[in-house]
Copies of this chain bind each other. A is one copy, B any other.
Amino acid sequence: MPGRGQNHVAQDWRGNLIPRRCKMITREILNDVFNARTVAVSGASSNPDKMGYKVLKNIIGGGYSGKIYPINPHGGTVLGLPCCTSIDEIPEDIDLVVVIVPAKFVPDVMRQAAEKHAKGAVIISGGFREIGNAELEAEVMKIADDNHIAVIGPNCQGINYTPNNLCATWPLMTGKGTMAVIAQSGTIGAAMGEWSQEDAIGFSSLVALGNKSGVGEVELLDFFADDDATKVIALNIEGVKDGRKFMEVAKRALEKKPVVVLKPGRTAKGAEAAASHTKSIAGSDKIFDAVCRQIGLIRAEGITEFYDYSKILGLLEKPAGRRLQIITSSGGSGILAADTAEDLGITIEKPEPEVIEELKSNLPSQCVASNPLDLTGDATAERYKDALEIVIKSSRADVFLVIFGDPIDGASETMRYIKTLTGKPIICVFLGGGEIEKKETPLLNMAGIPTFATPERAVRALGALLRKKQ
């Protein structure tokens, strides 16, 4: 490809040298990368303190079933696998190379990977543009560009794609789910991953952008839009390189699934910090916000909402309307849910008189047969069952919020049953429940009932669900 790959260095708005984005990363190439059947790990190490050990260990521990080739210049064996001393030694073509060697060796690794017709490189190694080595990065990107290798990173925390059991990152997380997280911030990505594991909702993918010199938000949005395992895309970015392209791809993705966006740098001070961090041009936050509203991107206010919104959108369909029925054992929590609902224009209607009558004749006298439906502090899972069997018949509710206050054993079993009785979405809250809460919350999530730690978080998440397009 003579003539291509020239002029790989451009200048950003501050005059810093940055590599040009390679142009030819297609959905097909990314598909080969995430579904790689042959992976080389360049920089594999037998020293447990090294990243080259941890990442290889996680690829193995994640249950990856393709071929793994550890590369270590000294040969030998790492974690029971024989090493090649270089990629050249690998006896076949590879789909993906995970790169953990010092920056100066990366161009050589890339050249060898190109020889083996690698489709992608996850470059975990740092030491490029982020410390001023823009030319080294440009050299790497030129090799990638010339050889159609999709680069994730460099200076990134790797990728985890659970449909392929491919955990080329750290820590080891294997819980499968429907959320694809694209994270500019390794820490925010890690937090999303950890919370999803604790919650037992898992994820389809975690991708760290790092310097995003090759694959960026546009290519990943485009890929995950068509990824069957992914039902919601959680996108953490600090800036958008090509606004027109971003809008075009985001619009296409939004036709297929919801996209939640966390974009720090809303304020002047935040934007200044973002400029220092990733050299992102934050642009006008008001314009970005207007674009989100216009095309239907669901913007998260902070990290908590980023997780909560992605969680609910990955588990539930959009309710048919905005009428919420609250069922609770904790009066105070029910009131807080009603307050938050009213803040968000979510309506609270009382069930029809016949439903109220049936509730009254089947529940103890201290219960309040209304909306919130208050089952009071001594409610058991059995009382929830009795009450829910009746109240789900209300035609004045489009969605149900069931709040378990205090340790209510058997909550998940009851809710799994109730879920079979209605097609309307159900959301739960569990708080003040000690060890039983810790046990029941993941069980509820696993049953497809997103469960939150406070009523406010649950209702705000419902607000996000109501902004879903389809």
Contacts and interface: CB of A to CB of B under 8 A. Distances in A.
Given A186-B432, A264-B339, A335-B274, A304 B454 contact: yes
A434 B130 CA distance: 26
B190 A432 contact: yes
Contact of A338 (B270, B278, B377): B270
Interface string A351-389: 000000000000011101010101011100000000000
A73 interface: no
Interface string A117-155: 000000000100011100000000000000000000000
Interface stretch (A35-43, A325-333, A390-398, A442-450): A325-333
Contact of A304 (B191, B194, B457): B457
A336 B302 contact: yes
Contacts of A332: 183-185, 187-188, 236, 238, 264, 277
Interface stretch (A91-99, A290-298, A341-349): A341-349
A274 B189 CA distance: 39
Contact of A302 (B130, B272, B340, B405): B340
B455 A303 contact: yes
Interface centre among A368, A370, A432, A434 (most CB of B within 10 A): A432
Given A190-B406, A339-B270, A130 B333 contact: no
A186 B189 CA distance: 35
Contacts of A188: 330, 332-333, 431-432
Interface centre among A189, A336, A364, A376 (most CB of B within 10 A): A336
Contacts of A455: 302-303
Given A269-B339, A273-B338, A431 B187 contact: yes
- Across chains A and B, which 3 residue pairs bring their CB atoms closest together, nearest first? A185-B332, A187-B405, A190-B432
Given A191-B454, A264-B332, A278-B331, 9 more contacts: A130-B366, A185-B405, A187-B330, A187-B405, A190-B406, A190-B431, A194-B434, A266-B339, A277-B374
Interface of A: 126, 130-132, 157, 171, 183-191, 194, 236, 238, 264-270, 272-274, 276-278, 301-304, 329-336, 338-343, 348, 364-366, 368, 370, 372, 374, 376-378, 405-407, 431-434, 454-457
29 contacts: A185-B331, A185-B333, A186-B377, A186-B406, A187-B377, A190-B432, A236-B332, A238-B335, A264-B332, A264-B336, A266-B339, A267-B339, A267-B343, A269-B338, A269-B339, A269-B341, A270-B336, A270-B338, A272-B338, A276-B374, A277-B331, A277-B334, A278-B331, A301-B456, A302-B336, A303-B336, A303-B454, A303-B455, A303-B456
